[in-house]
Amino acid sequence: MDHPIRQAAHVTPSARQLAWQELEFTAFVHFGVNTFTDREWGEGTEDPAVFYPTGLDARQWVSVFRDAGMRGVILTAKHHDGFCLWPSRHTDHSVRQSPWKGGQGDVVRELSAACAEAGLKLGLYLSPWDRHEPTYGDSPAYNEHFRNQLRELLTEYGELYCLWFDGACGEGPNGKRQEYDWVSYYELIRELQPQACISICGPDVRWCGNEAGHCRESEWSVVPAYLSCQEVVAGKSQQADDPAFAQRVNTTDQDLGSREQIARARSLIWYPSEVDVSIRPGWFYHAGEDDRVKSLDHLLEIYYGSVGGNAVLLLNVPPDRRGLIHEVDAARLRELGGVLRRTFAHDLARGARASASEADAVHAASCAVDGKAETYWRPHEGTEQAWLELDLGREATFGCACLQECICEGQRVERCALEVRQAGRWRPIAAATTIGYKRLLRFPAVTARSVRLSILESRCRPTIAAFALYQSGD
Ligand code: FUL
C-alpha cells in the first residue's frame, strides 16, 4: 500500500467543495420568530403572529453583503423553534400562518430572487431539531417530514450551494429522542441538487470547532474519517445516532491533520473548515446589542484568520424586526468591504521575475505570479523542500502576502517562510505552517526588491498557484 502521507497528499476536493471554497466570504442570516421574541432559541410554541417584519427587503441584505465582498448567503429557513420562513405545505407553523403579507409572504423566495439578481449564491439552514413539529421523536414519521421539507426547499427555490445542518439538540434525557436518518437526507440532496455542499452535520464541509471566528494555525482540509464520504453516501452504516456518523471527525480537536493523525487514519477525506461567527454577540437580532457590533479591526482579524487560514468565513448578520440589516451593521460591513477591496486591488508581485530552486517541465516559477488560479509552480515529484524567489524589478513596500496552493492537486505545504533581501542579506519577515486554498500573512511593512518563499516541509511536493504581495494588511 502507498505510504499514508503520499496518500494524504493526493486527496482532492470534489467539484462542489472547490466551488464552495472559492466563495471565501459568505453571510449567515439568522431570522425568524426569535427576532421578535428577543430570544436565541425558541420553544416551538410561539404564535406565528409574532413574525411581522414591517419593511422586509432581501435586496437590501444582499446589497450590503455584496458591498462587504461576500459571495454567498445562508438563511435559517427553519431554526430549532420549527417556524418556517417559507410556506411549507407540511406544517401549520410558517409564514403562511403569519399576518405578514396576509400570509402570502415567503422569505426564502424573496432572498432567492435577490441573490439571483445580484449574483450571490444561496444556501439554506434547516434545523433537524424541531421543537414544534408533533412527529419529532417519532423517528420514521419525523424523518419523512424532514425529507418533505427538504424536498420543497430543494425543488422550489432554484440552485442552492449548500444545505447547512446544525448539530444542536437541547432535548433533555426525558425529552423526545429522534434518530435522524442522515443517509436518506444526504441521498435526497445528492439526487435533487448534486452541486450543493452538505455542511456541518454532513460529508462536505466541517465546522471549525468554535464560534469565536478563528481557526487552527494548521487548518488541514485532508483529515482522517471514521467513515469515508463514499461509505456515507452509499449508506454503508445506518448508525445515525452515532455522533461520529453525523460529524465524521471530532471537529473541536486541535490537531486534525498532522502526520501523526494521518498515520493512524483508517481512511482519509477532503473535509474543509468553515468558520461561523456572528457580527454581534447573538445569532439573532437583539436591539440591546446595537452597540456591540464587532469593530472593523475585529472583523479584519477574523477575515485574515479564516479566509486567510484555509477556511471559508460564514459571518452572521441578523436582520432586525423591520426585516432590514441594521444601519450599524450595514455601515460596518461596507467599511470592511472597502478596506478589503483597497487592500487587494494591486498585487505588487504580479508579473515579477520569478525563479525557483527547481520546477518540473510545465510548472515554471512564473506560474505563481501570473494571476491565474489554474496555473501553478511545482518542483519535481518527491521534492519536499523548495524555494521561489521574486525580483520585483524595483523596491516596493508591502505588509501583506497571499499564498495559495493549487488544491485541485491536494493540500501539501506543512511549513513555509517569507524573507526579503536587504543590504545583501536575507531577512525573515513572516512564517506559517499550512497554506491550503489560501494563507494571508500580515507583517510590519518592509521595503525590498527581492522576496523569497521557502517551503520548509511539505508532502510529496508543493504546488503554489499564487504568491501575491500587497501594500498593507491594515
Ligand atoms: C448553533 C445553534 O444552536 C445556534 O442557534 C445557531 O444557529 C448556530 C449557528 O448553531 O448550534
pLDDT at residue 474 in the model:
67
Asked if 470 and 401 count as a contact pair (C-beta separation under 8 A), the reply is: yes
In 30-106, beta strands by DSSP E: 72-78
Q: Which residues of 220-244 are buried (b: 16+ CB within 10 A; e: fewer)?
A: bbbbbbbbbbebbbeeeeeebeeee
- Name the H helices within 211-318: 229-233, 243-247, 259-264, 296-306
Give the integer Cα–Cα distance in Å for 433 and 450. 22
Q: Is the CB of 283 under 6 A from ligand 1?
A: yes
| Residue 454 host element (H or E) | strand 439-458
Q: What are phi and psi of 372, to 5 degrees?
A: -110, 125
CA distance to 142, 365, 415, per residue, from 454 (Å): 54, 13, 9
Q: Do 300 and 360 share a domain, yes or no?
A: no
Taking the centre of ligand 1 as the mean of its atom positions, its distance from the CA of residue 284, in whole angstroms, is 10
Residues 282 and 399 in one domain: no
Q: pLDDT value at position 248?
A: 62
Is ligand 1 within 6 A of the CB of residue 276?
Answer: yes
Task: Show the domain range for 390.
Answer: 353-470
Number of domains composing the chain: 2
Which atom of ligand 1 has the smallest separation from the CA of 170?
Answer: 3
Under DSSP, the state recorded for 344 is T
Say if residue 281 is in the same domain as residue 211: yes
Residue nearest to atom 2 of ligand 1 (CA): 168
Q: Is residue 348 part of a domain?
A: no
DSSP annotation of 205 reads B
In a domain, 358, yes or no: yes
Query: If DSSP codes are grouped into helix, strand and coil, which group holds residue 89?
Result: coil
CATH, residue 393: 2.60.120.260
Residue among 164, 241, 148, 234 at smallest CA distance from 206: 164
Assigned domain for 96 exists: yes
Between CA 157 and CA 191 the distance in angstroms is: 16
User: Is the separation of the CB atoms in 80 and 131 below 8 Å?
Assistant: yes
Measured in Å, residue 428 CA sits from the centre of ligand 1 at 42
Q: Is residue 119 part of a domain?
A: yes
Domain-located, residue 223: yes
Q: Of 288, 310, 343, which residue sits at a domain end?
A: 343
Q: What is the pLDDT of residue 266?
A: 79
Measured by CA distance, the residue closest to atom 4 of ligand 1 is 283
Same structural domain, 159 and 65: yes
Residue where a domain terminates, one of 320, 343, 366: 343
| CA gap 123, 109 in Å, rounded | 12
Q: Which of 164, 166, 208, 211 to mutate to test the pocket of ligand 1 (most atoms within 8 A of CB)?
A: 166
Compute, in angstroms, the gap from residue 57 CA to the centroid of ligand 1: 24
Alpha-carbon distance values, 445 to 13, 372, 448, 473 (Å): 35, 26, 10, 9
Does ligand 1 come within 6 angstroms of the Cβ of 207? no
Same domain, 224 and 370: no
SS3 281: coil
Residue 368 sits in the same domain as residue 284? no
Is the CB of 166 within 6 Å of ligand 1? yes
Q: Are 170 and 80 in contact (CB under 8 A)?
A: yes
Tell me, yes or no, whether 282 and 370 share the same domain: no
Segments of the chain scoring below 70 in pLDDT: 1-2, 172-173, 226-248, 473-474
Entry pTM: 0.95
What separation, in Å, do the N-terminal and C-terminal C-alpha atoms of the chain show?
48
Three cell numbers, residue 392: 520585483
3-state class (DSSP) for residue 235:
coil
Contact 285, 320 (CB under 8 A): yes
Residue 95: which H helix or E strand, with range? none
